[in-house]
A and B are shown apart, each in its own frame.
Chain A
């Protein structure tokens, strides 16, 4: 009868803090830092000197850095607009692609400098020239980081408003794929487009974020297996932000608030690892392949590799996981019973259950 204890305790522990919901709030730091806005702990009780330093930092960020960055943006946006309109006039072909790749990195660098991007690219020899690139997703500006080094065609959710305008502008220069997640028909169109693109080695690589949602960069959630079904070779890229300088995670707040946060942060410091291309093995299923790629990315970036589906937080859970729990417990119970039977104890006064460290796996790693 003591079985119930472990389940109950595990359930309570998950109420207190669970591994999945935690990923959708900002990363928490153990120590105070000059940014401190994302900590739930509220460091208002630290010493006066620290408060003063923080206040000073705040002034510098809002009164010095923000205006400078806004000035850069006032040049960057028109430049972006003009260059893409210019490219848009050319007919499709090798020259247009070459022009786009040059102007794309140029513009990205200027835009990224408005965020003070300090990106360290590792293993640049693995940069994909064509095919499919996958990366973990933290911020809507992830593609911006990656295009400062090399040019990609992005696959992403369509947006309205200012973002939507930018996406349309980008489409003038190259064939990005924008889809509508809520439309089930759209999926087929996207899949077909991607299949055609991947096999063509002249075209720039496609950039895709298989997690489907922005996660707070401490872990990598389950990759959606869709694209791994037809893509046999992928180029994994791991992106890890340094949260002490800026909080890059987009927690579904309004984009303008998010941009303001970024523009008033110290800098956007990140590490990007380009991993060698991975090919699907003949006996591997799409899910296994996706998991393997995910594990590689998580390891390269120093993040936790989690098995949860990012959509679970907003949508009902999958019964399979529950059934698996039940199966494992049943097996345990049967082993217990078999052991008791074998021992043939005639009068069992007190049931002495050996504590078989029943590890209730909260994280399948």
Chain B
């Protein structure tokens, strides 16, 4: 009575993913089901088009950045993780898929949170702004992301001033760029745990 796709996810894989991400086996199966339904080409990986086929993601102004995060994640080094290779050309496999989604697991006091700790969540948000992946948010990057979010509805001047003000407030070391630590400080009062958590269905 299980469906066909769950057979392709081995017990061992589920256990590995569970220890890495903290998802329950039932949640992992459900995510796998979702993964396969998004995978229109049926080749076990997702491309950018597969993601952007989701209408609600396609109309999200940060849709491209979010999709990019999946592909970027796969290139990061995870020394503790026995996973080999960076993903080949623009394809996300299931492990990478789940790993990114794991950042959005709600934080539980009683559990050991690896991927969904506050700092990890903040780092993910930081990467949304950091377009060139240099661990710094420059004024241009901030402007670019703001522009994505407002489209043509705010004038460039006004956007500029908003960006200026933001950098002024957040920049501590005066380099006109926001580093990750400065970013964390700026969002100290924000309830990141609540805003960046999704209830995953079992």
Contacts and interface: CB of A to CB of B under 8 A. Distances in A.
Interface in A305-336: 308, 312-313, 316-317, 321-323, 325-327, 329-331, 333-334
B30 A40 contact: yes
A41 B129 CA distance: 37
Contacts of B51: 15
Contacts of A351: 166, 169-170, 186
B175 interface: no
B186 A330 contact: no
B55 A20 contact: yes
Interface in B161-202: 162, 166, 169-170, 183, 185-192, 195-198, 200-201
A137 B122 CA distance: 44
Interface string A60-74: 000000000000000
A23 to B, nearest CB: 11
A327 B151 CA distance: 7
Interface string A135-164: 000000000000000000000000000000
Contacts of A325: 59-61
B33 interface: yes
A14 B187 contact: no
B57 A11 contact: yes
B3 interface: yes
A75 interface: no
Contact of A329 (B58, B150, B162): B150
B181 to A, nearest CB: 14
A5 B196 contact: yes
Which applies to chain B's interface (DSSP): helix, strand, loop or mixed?
helix
Given A16-B34, A333-B154, A8 B6 contact: no
Nearest to B57: A14
A51 B2 CA distance: 12
B154 A321 contact: no
B151 A9 contact: no
Interface of B: 1-3, 6, 29-31, 33-34, 37-38, 51, 53-63, 65-66, 101, 104, 124-125, 128-129, 145-146, 149-154, 158, 162, 166, 169-170, 183, 185-192, 195-198, 200-201
27 contacts: A1-B170, A4-B125, A5-B125, A7-B60, A7-B61, A8-B65, A8-B66, A8-B196, A10-B60, A15-B66, A17-B34, A18-B54, A18-B57, A36-B1, A42-B2, A42-B6, A51-B1, A317-B59, A326-B61, A326-B152, A326-B153, A327-B153, A330-B149, A330-B150, A350-B169, A351-B166, A362-B56
